[in-house]
Amino acid sequence: MKPVIALVGRPNVGKSTLFNCLTRSRDALVADFPGLTRDRKYGTGQLGERPYLVVDTGGLSGEKEGIDSIMARQARLAIDESDAVVFLVDGRAGLNAADQVIADFLRQCGKPVYLAVNKVDGIDPDVAASDFHALGIGEPYQIAAAHGRGVRSMMNRVLETF
């Protein structure tokens, strides 16, 4: 079985951009896959010899208070069916209250969670990432999904336990 990697985070942090980066191959979009529903966007990708499934969750609003409105049902289901979660935050926008609420949820989800500080192109990545240690998710990976920067080394770590 391919490990299933869920991409989560508030809107506009770059989830769909990372999804495209991770599935950049012919026929990457998964129309039908046993045990997975169709209302989330699935794709396949491969790192070296290791194939994976990646899920783009569009459903986090992040705008109202409370875990239910921030973690839309769809995103929670995607987390449930995943083997690991990549939690994206926006390195340009800085730490956001919604990031903190999502982090609190993810710390209890029982899945391995990898924090990715995205959009570090053209800014100091260490300065951008330093804010996000406060989320308590561990050392952030510094990436620029739009350019593929840092994505391979992060995925090496995400996939090494499967």
13 is in an annotated binding site: yes
Q: What does 50-112 look like in DSSP terms, one character per residue?
A: EEEEEEE------SSSSHHHHS-HHHHHHHHT-SEEEEEEETTT---HHHHHHHHHHHTSSS-
Q: Which one of Mg ion, ligand GDP, none interacts with residue 41, CB within 5 to 8 A by kind?
A: none
Residues 87-126 touching ligand GDP, rule: CB under 6 A, are 118-119, 121
Residues 8-27 touching Mg ion, rule: CB under 5 A, are 15-16
Residue written as token pair 């769909």: 16
Residue nearest Mg ion by beta-carbon distance:
16
In the bound complex, what is the minimum distance in angstroms from residue 18's beta carbon to ligand GDP?
7
Residue written as token pair 């100091």: 124
118 is in an annotated binding site: yes
Query: Tokens in use for 92?
Result: 């340009």
Q: Which one of ligand GDP, Mg ion, none interacts with residue 13, CB within 5 to 8 A by kind?
A: ligand GDP
Give the residue with the Cβ less far from Mg ion, 10 or 15. Answer: 15
Which residues form the interface with Mg ion (CB under 5 A)?
A: 15-16
